[in-house]
């Protein structure tokens, strides 16, 4: 069974819609700016990647507006676009999304109502709107989907883990899956939580740079339709590429001096795809932008590919890190890179020589047939996915 991606829907800080995002990304256009969704002037981190020009009422029925957080609205629209792009849907379709916390902005408003006015002022929709499984549920309901539903919570790694779970459902005989992640928590509650995590930059987001000091938080992500290649071929579907390999590992307990798990995740994903490292044309890095984590990632890539042995890029430097949406957006970027034969750039960063990476800092036109996408989650999650342009059985 080969799992092929047949539909894409992108909502990103540097572009609302797949082609808008991709055009901006190849041109190196940034979507990061001062936080506008709330007054962040009193917080150490004051910049974010916010999706531009999104008015939910333009895209969704009014019945859905009182019951959805901003990030769920973005997810519903990304799902609509992915299904439309696939040119088919099926009531048997299932949904597996990645999430971090659920609807923080909605939850904060209702908790404020609870504390300041009383329980009778809390929306009935709080019962699910702030729940981490909300996007899976709302997408299923909106599209009348009866297939298996699920949600993965593994910070940034979850975006890849969700796709792997979707592939498992296809292997069990599922017809089509909608998968990916759209996330965002740009509100005081979400901000405080992220600030407390200790990984937010108070300035720029500069992975693999000597000035690296954390990341910029962002909202958005991508939803993707995944289906069995034989079924996709039978209906004459356009396929962007396959999910050819995947693996996840967990870091050893800190302080033991053992090697982190990222290299094993890469090697296991390559083995799952049954390819050699030399087959990989580009690596989409996790790009944590903290010196220690950047070193871990560079070491893992160099251990597998040799120093400077593979082009590495982090287009998320243009969007910020999207929490559970980030890896899904990277997979979308990898599929588009293969379609157009171009590696999108890592912007703003001046690559530090000590990492010995071939970091792509201006868009590079080159055939891309195989891409490796890396994603790590706070707390030790490592995931790696191999996507390939061809989607015959492998």
Among 56, 64, 193, 277, binds another protein (CB under 8 A): 64
Outline where DSSP puts E strands in 254-305: 282-284
Q: Does residue 127 touch another protein according to CB under 8 A?
A: yes
CB of 66 to another protein, least distance (A): 6
Using the rule CB under 8 A, give the single segment among 41-49, 86-94, 118-126, 381-389 that binds another protein.
118-126
- Interface stretch with another protein, choices 115-123, 177-185, 282-290, 307-315 (CB under 8 A): 115-123
Q: Which is nearer to another protein, 66 or 87 (CB)?
A: 66
Scanning 117-125, 263-271, 292-300, 353-361 for contacts with another protein by CB under 8 A, the matching segment is 117-125
Stretch that binds another protein, among 61-69, 78-86, 143-151, 212-220 (CB under 8 A): 61-69
Kindly determine how many residues on this chain lie close enough to bind another protein according to the rule CB under 8 A. Answer: 13
For the chain, how far is it from start to end, CA to CA, in angstroms?
8
> Is 125 a binder of another protein (CB under 8 A)?
yes
Q: Is residue 123 involved in binding another protein (CB under 8 A)?
A: yes
If binding is defined by CB under 8 A, does position 253 make contact with another protein? Answer: no
The CB-of-109 to another protein minimum distance in angstroms stands at 14
Q: Which is nearer to another protein, 74 or 337 (CB)?
A: 74
* Binding residues among 26-45 for another protein as defined by CB under 8 A: none
Question: Least CB distance from residue 53 to another protein, whole Å?
Answer: 22
Question: Shortest approach of another protein to residue 150 CB, angstroms?
Answer: 22
Asked whether position 2 contacts another protein by CB under 8 A, the answer is no
- The C-alpha atoms of residue 169 and residue 176 are separated, in whole angstroms, by 9
Total residue length of the chain: 394
Nearest to 347 by CA among 229, 221, 207, 228: 207
Of 53, 55, 63, 234, the one binding another protein by CB under 8 A: 63
88: which 2 tokens? 């088919």
Which residue, 69 or 251, is less far from another protein as judged by CB? 69
Residue 215 has what DSSP assignment? B
What one-character-per-residue DSSP string does 104-115 give? Answer: HHHHHHHHHHHH
56 binds another protein (CB under 8 A): no
Task: Find the binder of another protein among 65, 84, 230, 271 (CB under 8 A).
Answer: 65
Closest alpha carbon to 293 in 337, 340, 261: 261
Task: Return the structure tokens found at 394.
Answer: 């492998």
Q: Which is nearer to another protein, 41 or 62 (CB)?
A: 62
Q: Of the two residues 68 and 97, which places its CB atom closer to another protein in the complex?
A: 68
Torsion of CA 344, 386, 167, 231, to 10 degrees: 80
144-to-92, 95, 299 alpha-carbon distances in Å: 9, 11, 46
Rule CB under 8 A: choose which of 61, 203, 306, 379 binds another protein: 61
d(CA 176, CA 228): 7
Alpha carbons 321 and 200: distance in angstroms, whole number: 10
165-184: contacts with another protein (CB under 8 A) = none
Which residues are CB-neighbours of 389 under 8 A, at least 6 positions away? 241, 338, 339, 368, 369, 370
Q: Which is nearer to another protein, 113 or 348 (CB)?
A: 113
Sign of CA dihedral 70, 213, 379, 195: negative
67 binds another protein (CB under 8 A): yes
Of the ranges 56-64, 200-208, 270-278, 365-373, which one interacts with another protein (CB under 8 A)?
56-64
Nearer residue to another protein within complex by CB, 136 or 346: 136
Is residue 361 involved in binding another protein (CB under 8 A)?
no
**Residue 115 lies near another protein (rule: CB under 8 A):** no
Distance of closest approach, residue 61 Cβ to another protein, in angstroms? 5
Nearest to 148 by CA among 166, 129, 128: 166
E strand residue ranges, the chain: 3-12, 15-16, 32-34, 47-49, 94-98, 149-152, 176-183, 217-218, 220-228, 241-250, 282-284, 311-313, 342-343, 358-359, 364-365, 370-377, 381-388
Which positions lie near another protein, rule CB under 8 A?
A: 61-67, 120-121, 123-125, 127
């Amino acid at each position: 069974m080969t799992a092929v991606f047949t539909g894409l829907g992108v909502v990103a800080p540097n572009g609302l819609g797949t082609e808008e995002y991709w055009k901006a990304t190849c041109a190196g256009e940034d979507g990061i700016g001062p936080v506008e969704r709330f007054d962040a002037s009193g917080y150490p981190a004051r910049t974010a990647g916010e999706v531009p020009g999104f008015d939910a009422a333009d895209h969704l029925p009014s019945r859905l507006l009182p019951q959805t957080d901003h990030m769920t609205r973005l997810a519903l629209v990304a799902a609509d676009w992915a299904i439309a792009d696939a040119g088919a849907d099926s009531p048997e379709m299932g949904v597996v999304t990645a999430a971090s916390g659920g609807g923080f902005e909605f939850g904060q408003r209702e908790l404020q109502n609870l504390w300041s006015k009383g329980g009778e002022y809390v929306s009935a929709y709080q019962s699910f709107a702030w729940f981490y499984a909300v996007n899976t549920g709302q997408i299923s309901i909106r599209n009348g989907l009866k297939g298996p539903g699920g949600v993965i919570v593994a910070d940034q790694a979850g975006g890849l883990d969700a796709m792997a779970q979707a592939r498992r459902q296809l292997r069990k005989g599922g017809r089509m899956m909608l998968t990916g992640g759209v996330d965002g928590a740009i509100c005081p509650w979400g901000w405080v939580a992220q600030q407390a995590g200790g990984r937010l930059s108070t300035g720029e987001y500069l992975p693999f740079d000597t000035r690296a000091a954390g990341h910029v938080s962002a909202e958005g992500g991508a939803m993707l339709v995944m289906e069995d290649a034989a079924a996709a071929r039978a209906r004459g579907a356009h396929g962007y590429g396959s999910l050819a390999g995947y693996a996840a590992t967990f870091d050893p307990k800190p302080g033991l001096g053992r090697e982190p798990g990222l290299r094993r995740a890469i090697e296991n994903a390559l083995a799952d795809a049954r390819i050699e490292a030399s087959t990989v044309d580009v690596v989409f890095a996790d790009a944590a932008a903290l010196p220690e984590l950047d070193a871990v990632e560079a070491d893992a890539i160099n251990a597998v590919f040799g120093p400077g042995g593979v082009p590495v890029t982090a287009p998320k430097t243009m969007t910020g890190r999207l929490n559970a949406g980030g890896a899904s957006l990277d997979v979308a970027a990898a599929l588009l890179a293969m379609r157009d034969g171009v590696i999108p750039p890592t912007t703003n960063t001046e690559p530090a020589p000590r990492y010995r990476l071939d970091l792509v800092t201006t868009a590079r036109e080159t055939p891309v047939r195989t891409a490796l996408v890396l994603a790590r989650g706070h707390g030790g999650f490592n995931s790696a996915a191999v996507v390939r342009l061809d989607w015959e059985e492998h």
